[in-house]
Amino acid sequence: MPELPEVQVLVDQLAPRLKGARIRGVAIHDPKIRLCQEIVGRRILRVWRRGKYIIFDLSGQIHLLVHLRMTGWLEFEEPKRYRVAIRTGKGTAYFEDGRRLGVMQVVTPLELQRVLKPLGPDPLLDNCELSRLRRTSRSIKVALLDQQLVAGVGNIYASESLWRARINPRRRADRLQPPAVRALARGIVASMRKAVRYGPRIFEVQQFAVYGRKGKPCRRCGAMIRRIVQAQRSTYFCPLCQR
């Protein structure tokens, strides 16, 4: 599932291609998505991100809001299957989404505010302020997945960040001491910045420290990486580094 770094990489590709372009047409190939033709003729003023949401600011004070969910992505070359095609004067953006879970909708400024306001701090936009995490008794790994506590972190980067911070994923979030919280903030930012630097080939070339590496040696101490299940999601960690 695309998390904050993957979404940022996509925004970095979309913004220079589509900023200033006028929408000439919309082709919808999935009845689950309902886009009003009102966006046709409007100009794309800005493409930006908050957490895992992609926002297209359009002329006339409306927004196109996109959430990729599990398998969504936006391509510039026509794929075999796609849910929506947005045709502009600078090319066409195709919304590809194999599991059809992604969201694409037109919202007003007030509706956009209602969607984004509950989100926690964005690690790459808000200096990774994590005070909300210490308000819950859930395990720190599970708490990191709550978008109202910190926006943009998903299953992959939660494991990666906790490894960097040397924090056991089963520790209660409200029992983390300030030094551990600061280490976690640094770990989150470092993990995400590293991922963003991979650029468009992020899915092809990215190498993880612990995620998906069960039974392989820790890149720091050599102990075997373990996998456990938390909140029905896989967690990977080093039993020696993250006691």
In the chain, domain spans: 4-116, 131-237
Assigned CATH class of 4-116: alpha beta
pTM: 0.94
Residue 109 falls in the annotated catalytic set: no
Residue 227 falls in the annotated catalytic set: no
CB 159 within 8 A of CB 141: yes
49, 52, 83, 141: which one is catalytic?
52
CA distances to 7, 16, 81, 190 from 44, in Å = 18, 11, 24, 32
Residue 239: how many other CB atoms lie within 10 Å: 14
132, 220, 233, 239: which one is catalytic?
233
203 has pLDDT over 80: yes
pLDDT of residue 128: 87
pLDDT of residue 209: 97
Query: Which pLDDT tens digit goes with each residue over 144-191?
Result: 999 999 999 999 999 999 999 999 999 999 999 999 999 999 999 999
pLDDT of residue 129: 87
Query: Which pLDDT tens digit goes with each residue over 57-70?
Result: 999 999 999 999 99
Which tops the pLDDT comparison, 173 or 134?
173
Residue 3 falls in the annotated catalytic set: yes
CATH assignment of 131-237, among 1.10.8.50, 2.120.10.80, 1.20.1090.10, 3.40.50.10490 = 1.10.8.50
Rounded to an integer, the average pLDDT of 204-229 is 97
d(CA 49, CA 112): 12
Residue 160 falls in the annotated catalytic set: no
Q: Using DSSP, state whether 200 is helix, strand or coil.
A: helix
CB 191 within 8 A of CB 157: yes
**Which residue from 183, 124, 182, 194 is spatially nearest to 153, judged by alpha carbons?**
124
Q: 197 is written with which tokens? A: 């630097």
Query: Which pLDDT tens digit goes with each residue over 63-111?
Result: 999 999 999 999 999 999 999 999 999 999 999 999 999 999 999 999 9
